[in-house]
Amino acid sequence: MAESSKTGDRFAQEVVAELDSGGAVSRAIEGFAPRPGQLELGAAVAETLADGEVLVAEAGTGIGKTYAYLVPTLLDGRRVIISTGTRTLQDQLFHRDLPRVRAALQSASPRPMRTALLKGRANYLCRYRLQRAVEEGAFLAADEAERIQAAAEWARSTASGDLAEAPAGVEGVAERITATPERCLGQRCPAYDECFFYEARRLAHEADVLVVNHHLLLADWAVKDAGYGAVLPEAEAVILDEAHLLPDTAARFFGHSVSARALRDLIRDVRIADRREAGDMPDLRAAIDALEMAVAELRLALEGGETRDAWYAAAERGAAEAADGLSAAAAGLERALAAVAERGPELEACHRRTAELGEGLGRFLAPEQGEVQWYETRGRGFALHLTPLDVGGSFRRRMEREASAWVLLSATLAVGRSFAAFRRRLGLAESVRTEQLPSPFDYAGQSLLYCPAALPWPNQEGYDQAVVERARALIDCTPGGVFLLFTSHRALRLAREQLQAGLGRPLLVQGDAPQGRLLEDFARAGNAVLLGTASFWQGVDIRGAALSAVIIDRLPFAAPGDPVTAARQRAVEEAGGVAFRDILLPEAVIALKQGAGRLIRDEADRGVLMIADPRLHGKPYGRLFRDSLPAMPLTRRLEDVQAFWEGAS
């Protein structure tokens, strides 16, 4: 890899000059105004890139962290990978922020800056699978056939094949027209030379700045560990935005899962491949039927409609025998496919997938020390998961292998003033550089923290009903829109029942429509009430009066029955630690900061944050939560909330 020709101090000065008043960014981007925290962060990122170090930085809302890392990234001159938390943020970064900053810097000093965007394979149209779907159109429902035809028309004009750019409705047939890593035929595919994904990957390997997401980054690490080469190119530096998501994302990728959906997809694809490329193998069809029956039998043995529990609880009820039967059926299908795999690329791909699923089942049934077996069910589906208790050592080793400089950024990484909990989860040394840069917003003048008095404790009967009553009073005096963020679906359903009569404004509820549509309707209404759980606590950016209040029903401690959290707690206690202090408390603080961060999104916003949970004041640890939030004026009286809005008007 190339060595940086810049020293940390000199590079930091160069970056600050471009971000500060009179610099290229200020001159070229209308409405841009440098902020002290942004300049400080930009200098820290520059020093980290130049010196090959690790930086962990919490940049409060409004700092402008994206520009603060894009300027040194584009000026560095070596290959840098930027990874975001979600595909939505990835698209925003690549299509909006990165072009603006690149154009600004090139206006001052033209230089080659090659950039590329890369997502996982399943985000790109597969020409081969699209053609197969078109051929099967006569066997599909009318609406599905219409969507596939729309996809075929789009395929004639798209340059990227990225489904994020596809016409509305095409996402409904994504499974039929995309190829996951398991389904991809690779170089044996008839459409390989026109493959959108491989073209995007080629451009990624030529780029100086590559934008990916955490799922793809960690998937690349997993592919390398398995000895299958690499998806991403080598890089001198990696910038991880929305880094608070990394510990849980890493736990999923460093573990293993087998789902009923993956098994049923395999069964469907084997039947299609058999019809196209075999057709004369009764043993193969018998093996397919056996696997299909084994999937149904395991789902029956797992019982329950919607469950998330430790595996041993299901194993004691007979699920262990059903899982062994599923493993045996997968092995039988693998043997049957081995006899015909050479007849065609689809049969060969199905054989490989069956072997991988069989290996995954074997891993699940024989876990290694430090791995947690658990399962979840929903409807006809199930998933078997193997999750490592600790990802820190694995994550640190991969960091040391992949790049010399690392920047980990988020608006929510610290608990109080400490980064210790985050560092421990990712295995980062105590000596890594940390920066905590507060938001530039005037929370004292723009916001109010309302903690209603005289509420029962969360474990007492009537608590959820009392919270909704207080929320209703706050809604009635709030001129704009309101988020109600819940820690459980049960509490959300109760709130819906209590609020839907006589509310006098639109009521939007998670699950009634896709999240993106709900947020569009919420912003358009201007005074709506939206009820949401985990997915609405982060990554939502609604500015202005459309979101004037955020209500949080409880401090977001992990659910006591969560099997992975319970296993992590036991491991900490056995090692002499204190699970509440070391796991539950810091993770709840970070989650609360995420939820509270939905409220004030720019310098013109005004709003009220209501945290109903009386533990915020009634428990000693409540101070840690309060100290981790922005410095908002605190009240326990609804009259002060009413006065806040009267003063605003």
pLDDT mean over 53-74: 96
Q: Is the dihedral of CA 222, 228, 229, 230 positive or negative?
A: negative
CB 293 within 8 A of CB 329: yes
pLDDT at site 649 = 56
Confidence grade of residue 101 (pLDDT, cut at 50, 70, 90): very high
CA–CA separation, 93 vs 211, rounded Å? 8
* pLDDT on residue 180: 85
Cα gap 459→347, rounded to integer Å: 55
Q: Which residues contact 606 (CB under 8 A, 6 or more apart)?
A: 446, 447, 545, 548, 648
Q: Where in the chain is the domain with CATH 3.40.50.300?
A: 8-114+207-236+403-437, 443-648
600 — pLDDT class (breaks 50, 70, 90): very high
**Domain 8-114+207-236+403-437 CATH superfamily:** P-loop containing nucleotide triphosphate hydrolases (3.40.50.300)
Burial of 530 from C-beta contacts in 10 A (0-12 / 13-18 / 19+)? buried
pLDDT at 4 over 70: no
> Cα(295)–Cα(7) distance, rounded to whole angstroms?
59
Q: What pLDDT was estimated at residue 182?
A: 81
Residue 484 to residues 451, 473, 529, 562, 597: CA-CA distances in angstroms? 14, 13, 7, 23, 13
Distances (CA, A) of 202 to 74, 81, 117, 205, 574: 20, 15, 11, 5, 48
Average pLDDT of the residues in 369-381: 94
Please tell me what DSSP assigns to residue 23: S
Residue 83: how many other CB atoms lie within 10 Å: 25
Higher pLDDT, 111 or 408: 408
Average pLDDT over residues 208-227: 90
Task: Give yes or no for a contact between 421 and 415, defined as CB atoms under 8 angstroms apart.
Answer: yes
Separation between Cα atoms, residue 598 and residue 601, nearest integer Å? 7
> Which among 291, 305, 292, 320 is positioned nearest to 384, based on CA atoms?
320
Q: Which residues sit opposite 552 in a β-bridge?
A: 485, 611
What whole-number distance in Å separates Cα of residue 298 and Cα of residue 300? 5
Dihedral pair phi/psi, residue 38, rounded to 5°: -65, -40
The whole-angstrom separation of Cα 62 and Cα 222 is 35
CA distance 266 to 337: 12
Concatenate the DSSP letters of all residues of 76-91 into one string: H-S-EEEEESSHHHHH
To which residue do tokens 């421990």 refer?
424
Is residue 596 predicted with pLDDT exceeding 90? yes
pLDDT of 280 > 60? The answer is: yes
Give the per-residue pLDDT at 141. 77
Residues 410, 401: contact at Cβ < 8 Å? no
Q: Which amino acid is at 427?
A: G
Q: Is the pLDDT confidence value at 65 over 60?
A: yes
pLDDT of residue 454: 92
C-alpha span between 616 and 636 (Å, rounded): 11
Which residues are bridge partners to 83 per DSSP? 212, 240
115-170 tens-digit pLDDT: 999 999 999 999 999 998 888 775 677 788 889 999 999 999 999 999 999 998 89
Residue 2 has pLDDT above 60, yes or no: no
CA distance 201 to 197: 6
Of 4-8, 174-178, 578-582, least confident by mean pLDDT is 4-8
127 exposed, middle or buried (CB, 10 Å; 0-12, 13-18, 19+)?
buried
Neighbour order of strands in the sheet with 115-117? 115-117, 209-213, 80-84, 237-240, 405-410, 54-59, 433-437
How many whole angstroms separate alpha carbon 385 and alpha carbon 360?
10
Backbone dihedral angles phi then psi of residue 457, each to the nearest 5 degrees: -70, 150
List of E strands, 32-112? 54-59, 80-84
pLDDT score for 222: 86
As a whole number, the mean pLDDT across the chain is 93
Determine how many CB atoms are found less than 10 A away from the CB of residue 272: 14
By the 10 Å C-beta count (0-12 exposed, 13-18 middle, 19+ buried), 435 is classed as buried
Cα 211 from Cα 99, distance rounded (Å): 12
- CATH fold of 443-648: Rossmann fold (3.40.50)
At 453-497, the pLDDT tens digits run 999 999 999 999 999 999 999 999 999 999 999 999 999 999 999
What pLDDT, in 10s, does the model give residues 487-519? Answer: 999 999 999 999 988 899 999 999 999 888 999
CA-nearest of 426, 386, 441 to 604 is 441
Contact 613, 464 (CB under 8 A): no
The set of residues, in sequence order, having a beta carbon less than 8 Å from that of 234 and lying 6+ positions away, is 1, 79, 402
What residue spans in the chain does CATH classification 1.10.275 cover? 254-388
Please report the pLDDT score of residue 278 as a whole number.
73
Residue range 366-386: average pLDDT? 94
Its pTM stands at: 0.92
**Taking the domain 254-388, which CATH number applies?**
1.10.275
Interval 394-410 mean pLDDT: 95
What count of residues does the chain have?
Answer: 649
Q: Which of 447-451, 512-516, 634-638 has the lowest mean pLDDT?
A: 512-516
Query: Which residue, chain included where needed, has tokens 């309060």?
Result: 626
Q: What are the residues whose beta carbons fall under 8 Å from the beta carbon of 422, sequence distance 6 or more?
A: 56, 243, 244, 247, 413, 414, 428, 586, 590
Worst-scoring range by mean pLDDT, 37-51, 123-137, 392-406? 123-137
54 beta partners: 406
pLDDT band at 107 (very low <50, low <70, confident <90, very high): confident
Highest mean pLDDT range out of 21-30, 83-92, 236-245?
236-245
DSSP single-letter state for residue 300: H
Geometric angle at alpha carbon 409, from 406 and 413, rounded to 5°: 120
Question: At 599, is the pLDDT very low, low, confident or very high (cuts 50, 70, 90)?
Answer: very high
